[in-house]
Amino acid sequence: MSGREGCSRWCEQCQTEQKMRVKHCYKCQRCVYRFDHHCFWVGACVGEKNHVWFYWFLATQSIMCMWTAVVFAEAFVDVSPWLNANWIQLLVVIDAGGVGLLPLGLWGYHTYLVLTGQTTWEDLRTRKIEYLRGFELVAPFSKGVLGNVVTFCSSWRWWAYTPVEHQYEEAMVKLAASKGSRREIGVWDNPWNNKYYSCC
């Protein structure tokens, strides 16, 4: 990507201007709005229109793996000769519980991202993303916890959809005016990084 007159960022592969929170995925060969990551489990990019579905996918996988582990673990109340005859169930419990920790951890991480109005890409690459450089805030696009949840849950509905290029212009103008300072941000707007404290 190189600079182009009149554009903040230009995607050489798609030959188009990249708006804020857009990233080109080299595996999918397209630009993705509110890019989170490319998921090899689902074989597609997780972005603005499918992030909520990915979140619920992680939730259901976590619940099912933990439920399976609990149901099978209940069979081991009496560890007697029965265990010798049914050792394969022990392997199922260990596998379901162990495998369940991965989606459970990801679900927890994506819950944090939803509550702060961030994406995985923005959280992990903050200093490398051009439009986030120079801001003191951890989550400059945060609309407060409730606002972030509403935005996240309604981004896939056509009637609630606001195109990404318009959605963030006002927020970035406001941030640029304050130099990305947290001096004016209250606890309810950003519980992790506000005028009283910063934990991130």
User: For position 90, what pLDDT does the model report?
Assistant: 75
Q: What is the predicted pLDDT for the residue at 82?
A: 67
Of 53-57, 71-75, 148-152, the one with minimum mean pLDDT is 71-75
**Mean pLDDT, rounded, of the chain:** 76
Q: Which amino acid is at 154?
A: S
Residue 130 falls in which region: left (phi positive, over 0), alpha (psi -120 to 50) or beta:
alpha
Least-confidence region, from 76-80, 93-97, 119-123: 76-80
**The predicted structure's pLDDT at residue 7:** 44
C-alpha 179 chain-centroid distance: 25
Q: Where are the domains of the chain?
A: 52-116
pLDDT higher than 80, residue 3: no
pLDDT digits (tens, 9 = 90+) for 187-197: 666 666 666 65
* Cα 200 to Cα 193: distance, rounded to the nearest angstrom: 7
pLDDT for res 36: 94
Choosing from 7, 14, 28, 39, the catalytic residue is 39
Which span out of 122-126, 129-133, 163-167, 171-175 was modeled with the highest average pLDDT? 122-126
39 catalytic? Reply is yes
pTM to 2 decimal places:
0.72
> How many other C-beta atoms are found inside a 10 Å radius of the C-beta of residue 198?
13
Task: Tell me the two tokens of residue 178.
Answer: 């304050």
Q: What is the pLDDT of residue 91?
A: 80
Sign of CA dihedral 27, 28, 30, 34: negative
